Structure 1
Amino acid sequence: MSSVPAALTSEWTKIRTVSSTVWTLICAFGVTVLMSAALCALMNAQFDDLPPMEHATFDPTFVSFSGMVLGQLAMVVFGVLVVGTEYSSGMIRTSLAAVPRRGTFLFSKIAVAGALALAVGLVTGFVSFFLGQALLGAHRTDIGAPHVLRAVVGAGLYMGLIGIFSMGVATMLRSSMLSLGILMPFFFLVSQILSVVPGAKKVAQYFPDRAGSKIMQVVPDAMNSGQSPYGPWGGLGILVAWVVAALLGGYLVLKKRDA
């Protein structure tokens, strides 16, 4: 059972038969779309009351992904559960006995779960965009406008990469509770707070979520979010670097430690 096709099949079976992982993906989609839609409707109703700087940097595409602040947390939970459940249940020993090559085991899991996270992310991105634009009324944009398609696809890539990053972190920490205890406050509190603190802002802009979210912007410094030393693709590149580092760290931990 150590062949790559067999390992991939095994990982797919694990994911689709565990209800918690399936529901977290559904939540990631639902929360992002519903919250984005609500905020787009609110933005349309209060557009004339926006501060001058937000008027000048209004980005209807970026507004369509407002709900991703919460939706990405569900994707974090998905990534952590995909890996951490095996450790908490003790199934990791059985899995490694069936697939003794630890690199094959880990990257088969990442390939299957990561592809699923990316697919859900892309669907979420497109649905959020089209629904959000419908609710923005006269302030909407079009998928054919310059750079809009890049931003919509980028939103899906962002969600998928956040899930894969979480898988790498969970592999390093080997605990769902510990991983969630670090990642949830990091994305929901620490990153958000530091991004508005003058002294820490220059550091926070290189955090995975802050950098990766630039790919979703069409207008530079969208919604008065502030300047950054990189563009959309540079921001996505920083997020990819975080993901690679997390996966490499997870692989080294898995290779050197006992189950």
Structure 2
Amino acid sequence: MAAPGPVLLSEWTKIRTVRSTTVTLAAAFVVTVGLSAVVCALTNANFTEATRNGRNAVFDPTSTSFAGVFLGQLAVIVFGVLAVGNEYSSGMIRVSLAAVPRRGALLAGKTAVVLALVLAVAALTSFSSFLLGQALLGPHRTSLDAPHVLRAVVGAALYMALICLFSVGVTAMLRNQTLALGVLMPFFFLVSPILSNVPKVKTVARYFPDTAGSRVTSVLQQPDAPYGPWTGLGICALWTAAALLGGWLVLRRRDA
């Protein structure tokens, strides 16, 4: 069974019938939208104080409505890891490879289904976060037809999808969901944010997938940034492509 249709159907069935994958996608939506709403409400309530301290000079209402993406992306990372790692932890990968001997077709089918699901959820999450966040910002809000705002909203959805696919590739390389989570979670939650604020290494950290990709979610860009928002998303896409390529090479060369 190496035809694209049956492969996609089988991968869809695997993901749909595992409760944990559905829960993680729901968590990505709830956490991102919920946290963004809280931050926007607090920002609106304390905006006068922020103005007095001069912080409003760099206020970006669009990026404020995406404040929850930092935690929400952890849920899509878990989704990407589970989509691949569940088969290794249960031993079902042997059955999958017996049914689809072409390993590239197996990984491509899994990647396509994961992309379709996470992109749909990410788009819903992105627009919901923006619309609710702007409503809570009150007079300090912006709109979709303002310059660069639609780019940021669409870019936020694309960024979350790319981070999920990056996790798929890393898990395919490591072949163990516990190990993959042990690598990805500390990296995105601790290592990357810390190194991005260390003077001697932050120049390199700018090219990490999350640091580069998340630039697309902001309308206001840092004046000293070495690249623009779409270039940053492109850097994130290159990381994702490299991870998926690595996953394919490992799957191709190693037994289940």
Q: What is the deviation of 1:227?
A: 3.2
Aligned to 2:13: 13
Aligned to 2:231: 234
What is the CA deviation profile of residues 201-251 of structure 1, one whole-angstrom value per residue up to 9, with x for unaligned ones? 111111100000011111122xxxx73200001100000000000000000
Aligned amino acid, residue 2 of structure 1? A
User: Percent identity at matched positions?
Assistant: 63
Q: Distance in 2 between matches of 1:90 and 1:84?
A: 10
Segments of structure 2 that go 5 or more residues without pairing to the other structure are none
Aligned amino acid, residue 255 of structure 2? D
| 39-48 vs 8-17, which moves further | 39-48
Residues 1:133 and 2:134 aligned together:
yes
Secondary structure at 2:145 match in 1: coil
Q: Distance in 2 between matches of 1:40 and 1:50?
A: 13
What is the CA deviation profile of residues 128-184 of structure 1, one whole-angstrom value per residue up to 9, with x for unaligned ones? 000000000111000111111110010000111111100000000000000000100
What is the CA deviation profile of residues 67-126 of structure 1, one whole-angstrom value per residue up to 9, with x for unaligned ones? 011000000000000000000000000000000000000000000111111111111000
**Which 4+ residue blocks in structure 1 deviate beyond 4 angstroms?**
none
Q: What is the deviation of 1:54?
A: 3.3
Aligned to 2:33: 33
Segments of structure 1 that go 5 or more residues without pairing to the other structure are none
Aligned to 1:49: 49
Q: Distance in 2 between matches of 1:81 and 1:240?
A: 21
Aligned amino acid, residue 193 of structure 1? I
Give the CA RMSD over aligned residues. Answer: 1.1
Q: Distance in 2 between matches of 1:183 and 1:47?
A: 35
Alpha carbons of 1:60 and 1:29: their partners in 2 closer, same or farther (altered >3 Å)? same
Q: Distance in 1 between matches of 2:123 and 2:50?
A: 30
Secondary structure at 2:143 match in 1: coil
Alpha carbons of 1:181 and 1:241: their partners in 2 closer, same or farther (altered >3 Å)? same
The two structures have a TM-score, normalised by structure 2, of 0.97
Q: Distance in 2 between matches of 1:214 and 1:53?
A: 23
Q: Distance in 2 between matches of 1:202 and 1:171?
A: 29
Map 1:59-74 to 2 at 5 A: 59-74=60-75
Aligned to 2:87: 86
Q: Distance in 2 between matches of 1:56 and 1:202?
A: 25
The two structures have a TM-score, normalised by structure 1, of 0.96
Q: Distance in 2 between matches of 1:160 and 1:48?
A: 36
Q: What is the deviation of 1:50?
A: 2.6
Aligned to 2:241: 244
| 126-135 vs 111-120, which moves further | 111-120
Aligned to 1:193: 194
